[in-house]
């Protein structure tokens, strides 16, 4: 019969566990060291890759700028070559569009900008004016009464004074002007007719220049590009007509800037200016 010492057996087992733990700790340390080295290597690779990407992006930017400069030089060279052998289009002188026609167009635009009353609005406004006038008469009577009230009539004095103050804090509505409304109607009609005729003349000259392959003015090409984009010829002609008309209406004479300085005030001119800027930018895209 074998006599087994339980204490000794437990000690042996503890020793084996210690060896296993030491071996496991060594393996973990080695694994952590390998992982740290791998992470460092990956980090260095990422840094190298980012540096290469940055250099590539800088190079692409330089190439894009070079291409843009080259395109502008080619456009300038093309203009010089064509200028020597091609007839130029004239989009600045328009004797067939008289100053009287331009004045009609501007007057029509001003008429559209003015507030117009509908029949119901005119009725409501006249009613408000009548109420204001009635209150004004009461206020005037109250003001006259203030000069005749006895000194001890304090409550009555306050009542009359409040009636007077009520009207002084209000503003009489502006009366609808039937004559102005009628004249605006005439101005709008004349302006619409004049602008239709002017646009027809301008478009015809632009179409003729395109057909004969004439050299466009510098301001025209700067704004609308050297030609109509594929599939957008009719839209391009419509916008080009409005650009020329804008120069005529607002006396823009810059040889390089088609629309001149942006208008500061809100209104028809500002709206048209902003629309033309957006549309022409789309036509100039490659």
Nearest one of 45, 123, 102, 103 to 248, comparing CA atoms: 102
**pLDDT at position 224 over 60:** yes
Lowest mean pLDDT among 4-8, 100-104, 257-261: 4-8
**pLDDT at position 110 over 70:** yes
Pick the residue with more confidence: 119 or 41? 41
Average confidence (pLDDT) over 223-241: 91
pLDDT of residue 145: 66
pLDDT of residue 131: 79
d(CA 272, CA 185): 22
pLDDT of residue 241: 97
**pLDDT at position 248 over 60:** yes
pLDDT of residue 56: 75
pLDDT, tens only, 45-83: 777 777 777 777 777 777 766 666 666 656 655 655 665
Average pLDDT, the chain: 79
Q: Which two tokens stand for residue 15?
A: 């020793």
Average confidence (pLDDT) over 220-238: 91
Lowest mean pLDDT among 116-120, 199-203, 274-278: 116-120
* Whether 266 contacts 273, CB under 8 Å: no
Nearest one of 214, 205, 260 to 237, comparing CA atoms: 205
pLDDT, tens only, 129-162: 777 777 777 767 666 666 676 666 666 666 766 7
CA angle 268, 273, 277 (to 5 degrees): 150
pLDDT of residue 197: 95
Determine what percent of the chain is predicted with pLDDT higher than 70: 70
pLDDT band (50, 70, 90) for residue 195 = very high
* Whether 219 contacts 254, CB under 8 Å: yes
pLDDT of residue 68: 61
d(CA 62, CA 68): 10
pLDDT band (50, 70, 90) for residue 177 = low
d(CA 9, CA 116): 110
Q: Which two tokens stand for residue 108?
A: 């029509």
pLDDT of residue 180: 56
**pLDDT at position 6 over 70:** no
Average confidence (pLDDT) over 171-177: 67
* Whether 283 contacts 232, CB under 8 Å: yes
Angle at which helices 99-113 and 233-249 cross, to 10°:
100
Quickly list DSSP for 168-209. Answer: HTS-PPPPP-HHHHHHHHHHHHHHHHHHHHHHHHHHHHHHHH
Q: What is the pTM of this model?
A: 0.55
226 Cβ contact partners less than 8 Å away, ≥ 6 residues apart: 75, 78, 216
Using a 10 angstrom Cβ sphere, with 0-12 exposed, 13-18 middle and 19 or more buried, the burial of residue 258 is buried
Average confidence (pLDDT) over 183-190: 84
Q: Which two tokens stand for residue 225?
A: 């590009």
pLDDT of residue 252: 94
**pLDDT at position 179 over 70:** no
pLDDT of residue 25: 79
């Amino acid at each position: 019969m074998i006599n087994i010492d339980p204490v000794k057996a437990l000690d042996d087992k503890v020793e084996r566990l210690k060896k296993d733990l030491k071996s496991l700790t060594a393996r973990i340390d080695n694994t952590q060291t390998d992982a740290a080295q791998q992470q460092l290597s990956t980090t260095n690779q990422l840094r190298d890759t980012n540096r290469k990407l940055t250099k590539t992006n800088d190079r692409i930017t330089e190439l894009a700028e070079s291409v843009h400069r080259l395109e502008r030089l080619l456009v300038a060279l093309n203009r010089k070559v064509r200028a020597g052998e091609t007839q130029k289009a004239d989009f600045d002188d328009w004797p067939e569009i008289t100053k009287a026609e331009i004045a009609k167009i501007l007057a029509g635009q001003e008429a559209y900008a003015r507030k117009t009353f509908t029949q119901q609005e005119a009725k409501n406004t006249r009613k408000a004016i009548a109420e204001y006038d009635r209150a004004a008469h009461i206020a005037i009577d109250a003001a006259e009464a203030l000069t005749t009230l006895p000194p001890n009539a304090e409550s009555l004095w306050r009542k009359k004074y409040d009636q007077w103050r009520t009207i002084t804090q209000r503003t009489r509505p502006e009366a609808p002007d039937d004559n102005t409304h009628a004249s605006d109607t005439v101005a709008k009609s004349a302006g619409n007719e004049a602008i239709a005729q002017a646009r027809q003349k301008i478009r015809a000259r632009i179409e003729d220049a395109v057909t004969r392959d004439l050299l466009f003015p510098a301001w025209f090409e700067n704004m609308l590009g050297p030609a109509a984009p594929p599939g957008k010829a009719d839209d391009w002609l419509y916008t080009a007509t409005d650009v020329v008309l804008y120069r005529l209406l607002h006396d823009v004479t810059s040889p390089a800037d088609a629309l001149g300085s942006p208008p500061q005030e809100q209104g028809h001119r500002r709206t048209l200016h902003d629309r033309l800027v957006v549309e022409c930018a789309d036509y100039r895209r490659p």
